[in-house]
Structure 1
Amino acid sequence: MEKRIINPWQWQDERNYVQAVEVKNIESTLYCAGQAAVHADGRSSNADMKTQLLLAIENLEKVITQAGYPLSGIVRLNVLTTNSGELWSCFDVLQNWITKNGIQQATTLCEVKTLFETLTIELEATVVK
Structure 2
Amino acid sequence: MQRTAVNPWDWSLKLGYNQAEVIEGAARQLICAGQTAVDAEGNPRHLGDMRGQIALALDNLEAVLTNADMGLRNVVRLGLYTTDVDEALKNFDLFGMRFGPIRCAPPMTLLGVSCLAIPGLLFEIEATAMG
Runs of 4+ in 1 over 4 A off after TM superposition: none
* Matches of 2:67 and 2:96, distance apart in 1: 23
Q: Distance in 1 between matches of 2:30 and 2:107?
A: 15
Corresponding residue for residue 12 of structure 2: 12
User: Cα distance, 1:100 vs. partner?
Assistant: 2.3
Q: Could you list the runs of 5+ residues in structure 1 that have no partner in the other structure?
A: none
Equivalent residue for 1:83? 84
Per the normalisation by structure 1, the TM-score is 0.94
Mapped contact 2:78–2:106 kept (Cα < 8 A): yes
Structure 1 residue 101: Cα displacement: 3.1
Q: Unaligned 5+ residue runs, structure 2?
A: none
Alignment of 1:43-122 (within 5 A): 43-45=43-45, 46-116=47-117, 117-122=119-124
Q: Tell me how far 1:94 sits from its aligned partner.
A: 1.8
RMSD: 1.1
Identity %: 36
User: TM-score scaled by structure 2?
Assistant: 0.93
Aligned-partner Cα distance in 2 for 1:54–1:83: 16
How many residue pairs get aligned? The number is 129
Match of 1:127 in 2: 129
